[in-house]
């Protein structure tokens, strides 16, 4: 048996006034998701703790059965997904060009996300490309549109705060160390000097002078967040005994999956959400050489960020139409365990980026109990047989329903892995 794990990114939501208090998922017409829920066992899921808003990359890391303390940091993982060349010990931060203004409390974020032309990105990237800083160096690597990475080399540490306050109208954050180490202190100091230098350099740049002449906000700052560095992680196959594949369309999932030793099939997003999703399900079903296939769509999350509940409802309905393949081809397959859930909730109103509510969960396959849930939603699934599932419990349930879970107390390898049989050493007749 194998598992096909479908993650509908940001699917969960809050009750919306425009939908008479229902969530977009509740209000949407989701005949295929509802039918799958009636065929399987249902519950709620949170990758960490109820009420804690999760970023997609950390949520996925926990979904895949790893611990929060092991997380390498999004900056590093996304750089891997983009194919950025890194050296041992490098620290990577996400960054992007923004517009700020000087006030008495410092530099205040005016416009966080800017629309820049390719030529503007090119010349501004060159202006801030690199800068030595004592026993370290800082280089900027563009990553499309106004986005990029800062790669810190030398005696550096990822134990630093962000500089991006996220909310416009707030001052940029002074980068501070988050531990007492000398390298973290030096990294924070050097990064603050670099960010000040970037502001001074870009404020007088001809490209920004031209933008101001045209009535556009100048791209006069870089804001940073989510520092990370490579960490030694137990490969997914070794940790869970499953050969994994990720079918996804974003570099963060490509980087995360590759760091865990999973194969990656780089999908593309188009304006046809239904066809995109149906094709990913088809590819997952076809990939029979894998024990675990992660199928991901970012579209519900993107729709939630528009803060338009009606648009999110439309996107959910499009994805449900693409779910017909799962109902017709995957659900009847006795060798497949189908799991459908989300990584987090994305409220389609309000000011939060993500919100901390649980998300619906359905598991369907040979041996799963069939409960009385009649619809796939945040409310209906709460009445299901699974109850509340948290963190790596999801992967333990996957092993259980694949008939691969090891009974507690058995021990066939020095490392107490959760699957059975493990990669144990056979007893030889002619040696130790």
Strand partners, 419: 405
- In this structure, what are the phi and psi dihedrals at residue 148, rounded to the nearest 5 degrees? -170, -175
For the chain, give every residue range classified as CATH 3.40.720.10: 2-71+232-401
| 186 pLDDT tier (thresholds 50, 70, 90) | very high
| 50 pLDDT tier (thresholds 50, 70, 90) | very high
Residue 144 has pLDDT above 90, yes or no: no
Kind and range of the H or E run holding 30: none
pLDDT for 426: 92
- In this structure, what are the phi and psi dihedrals at residue 128, rounded to the nearest 5 degrees? -120, 20
> What's the CATH number for 2-71+232-401?
3.40.720.10
Query: Residues 6 or more apart from 120 whose CB is under 8 A from it?
Result: 207, 211, 219
Task: Say which residue the tokens 């923004």 belong to.
Answer: 98
| 345 pLDDT tier (thresholds 50, 70, 90) | very high
Helix/strand number for the chain, H first, E second? 14, 14
| pTM of model > 0.85 | yes
Task: Characterize the bridge pairing of strands 136-142 and 130-133.
Answer: antiparallel
pLDDT for 432: 63
* Structural tokens at position 70: 């092991």
pLDDT for 203: 94
pLDDT tens column, 246-270: 999 999 999 999 999 999 999 999 9
Residue 132 has pLDDT above 80, yes or no: no
pLDDT tens column, 269-320: 999 999 999 999 999 999 999 999 999 999 999 999 999 999 999 999 999 9
Q: What is the DSSP string of 186-229?
A: HHHHHHHHHHHHHHHHHHT-HHHHHHHHTTPPP--EEEEEEEE-
pLDDT for 23: 98
Alpha-carbon distance of 77 to 69, in angstroms, equals: 15
Residue 161 has pLDDT above 80, yes or no: yes
10 Å CB burial of residue 232 (0-12, 13-18, 19+) is: exposed
- Compute the average pLDDT of residues 359-383: 97
- Compute the average pLDDT of residues 154-163: 96
10 Å CB burial of residue 354 (0-12, 13-18, 19+) is: buried
- Mean residue pLDDT across the chain: 96
Task: Characterize the bridge pairing of strands 41-46 and 387-390.
Answer: parallel
Chain centroid, CA 330 distance in Å: 25
Poorest-confidence range of 122-136, 138-152, 203-217, 263-277?
Answer: 122-136
| 145 pLDDT tier (thresholds 50, 70, 90) | confident
10 Å CB burial of residue 364 (0-12, 13-18, 19+) is: buried
pLDDT for 169: 94
Alpha-carbon distance of 392 to 283, in angstroms, equals: 26
pLDDT tens column, 63-110: 999 999 999 999 999 999 999 999 999 999 999 999 999 998 899 999
Residue 367 has pLDDT above 70, yes or no: yes
């Amino acid at each position: 048996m194998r598992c096909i794990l479908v993650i509908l990114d940001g699917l969960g939501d809050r009750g919306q006034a425009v939908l008479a208090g229902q969530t977009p998922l509740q209000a949407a017409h989701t005949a295929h998701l509802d039918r799958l829920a009636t065929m399987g066992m249902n519950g709620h899921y949170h990758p960490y703790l109820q009420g804690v808003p999760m970023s997609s990359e950390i949520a996925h890391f926990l979904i895949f059965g790893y611990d929060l303390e092991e997380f390498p940091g999004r900056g590093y993982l996304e750089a891997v997904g983009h194919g950025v060349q890194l050296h041992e010990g490098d620290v990577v931060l996400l960054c992007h060009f923004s517009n700020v203004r000087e006030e008495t409390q410092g530099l205040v974020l005016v416009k966080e996300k800017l629309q820049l032309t390719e030529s503007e990105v090119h010349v501004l990237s060159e202006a801030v490309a690199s800068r030595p800083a004592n026993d370290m160096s800082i280089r900027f690597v563009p990553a499309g549109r106004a986005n990029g990475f800062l790669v810190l080399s030398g005696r550096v540490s990822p134990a630093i705060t962000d500089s991006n306050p996220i909310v416009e109208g707030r001052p940029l954050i002074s980068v501070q160390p988050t531990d007492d180490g000398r390298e973290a202190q030096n990294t924070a100091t050097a990064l603050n000097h670099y960010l000040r230098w970037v502001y001074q350099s870009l404020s007088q740049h001809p490209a920004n002078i031209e933008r101001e002449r045209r009535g556009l906000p100048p791209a006069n700052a870089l804001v940073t967040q989510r520092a990370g560095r490579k960490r030694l992680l137990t490969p997914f196959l070794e940790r869970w005994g499953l050969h994994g594949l990720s079918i996804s369309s974003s570099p963060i999932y490509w980087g995360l999956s590759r760091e865990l030793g999973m194969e990656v099939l780089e999908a593309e997003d188009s304006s046809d959400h239904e066809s995109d999703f149906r094709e990913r399900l088809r590819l997952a079903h076809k990939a029979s050489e894998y024990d675990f296939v992660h199928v991901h769509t970012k579209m519900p999350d993107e729709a939630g960020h528009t803060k338009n509940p009606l648009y999110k409802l439309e996107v959910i309905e499009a994805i449900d139409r693409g779910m017909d393949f799962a109902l017709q081809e995957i659900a009847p397959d006795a060798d497949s365990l189908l799991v459908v859930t989300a990584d987090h909730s994305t409220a389609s109103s309000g000011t939060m980026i993500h919100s901390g509510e649980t998300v619906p969960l359905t598991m369907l396959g040979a041996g799963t109990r069939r409960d009385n849930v009649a619809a796939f939603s945040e409310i209906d699934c709460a009445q299901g047989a699974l109850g509340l599932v948290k963190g790596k419990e999801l992967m333990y349930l996957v092993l259980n329903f694949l008939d691969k879970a090891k009974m507690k107390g058995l021990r066939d390898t020095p490392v107490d892995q959760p699957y059975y049989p493990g990669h144990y050493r056979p007893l030889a007749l002619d040696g130790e």
